[in-house]
A = this chain, B = another copy of it.
């Protein structure tokens, strides 16, 4: 019989090589360099061979996007999991890791986090966001943030900090967060995870993302000699703002 598994294994290996090559091209030469012909060339194949693996170039790029977020999330989660402590350290590690990754993988960042996707305002959004809680990145962020907010806050913020128009949206989101967190073995009750908490978490993410985007695209108002210090200052601001009773690690 001579194992049918062998062909499968080789097929899977080739697939991995295709994605790896696409990734390298993206990182080193930008999104427009990710062409079927270039990938095939790099692999010593002919371009039509790739159609054994993907239906079209777009199909391949879509898989690439997913790969990127998945890998990023896994990496950040595992890095932060190795740290001691019960929350804040992990959360800040994820934030710093995200920034570091963005700075060193500008092209990947652009593709995944800063490319126009879909319509505006329809609620449909890109792959790489917290609203797809299953994404490892979102998951890592949420778990760390949830842990921090439940164990290190002085008091849960009142719902009054949330503008009335946003309460319905936030309530739905909060519920989905709570279920994700309880799946992670983190028992959080709604009285410690208020609408206000949810609002702060959203703002927290928005500021991290905003700062990182600004920095990656060189759109900072000033040339800053020590950008790391600036980011740390933002983290410290955020920590204070969400009411953490800890010093920054």
Q: Digit string of A204-241 for contact with B (CB within 8 Å is 1, else 0)?
A: 01110111011111111111111101101110110000
State the number of copies, please: 2
**Cβ contacts under 8 Å, A125 to chain B:** 217-220, 223
A120 B170 Cβ-Cβ under 8 A: no
CB contact between A113 and one of B138, B219, B221 (< 8 Å): that residue: B219
A163 to chain B, nearest CB (A): 4
A129: interface (CB < 8 Å):
yes
Interface size on A, residues (CB 8 A): 62
Contacts of A226 in B (CB 8 A): 165-166, 169
Instruction: Please name 20 pairs of A and B residues whose Cβ atoms are closer than 8 Å in the assembled complex, sorted by A.
Output: A32-B32, A103-B120, A114-B114, A114-B217, A120-B215, A129-B219, A138-B221, A163-B233, A165-B229, A166-B224, A168-B225, A201-B221, A203-B234, A203-B237, A205-B221, A206-B207, A206-B211, A206-B221, A210-B211, A210-B214
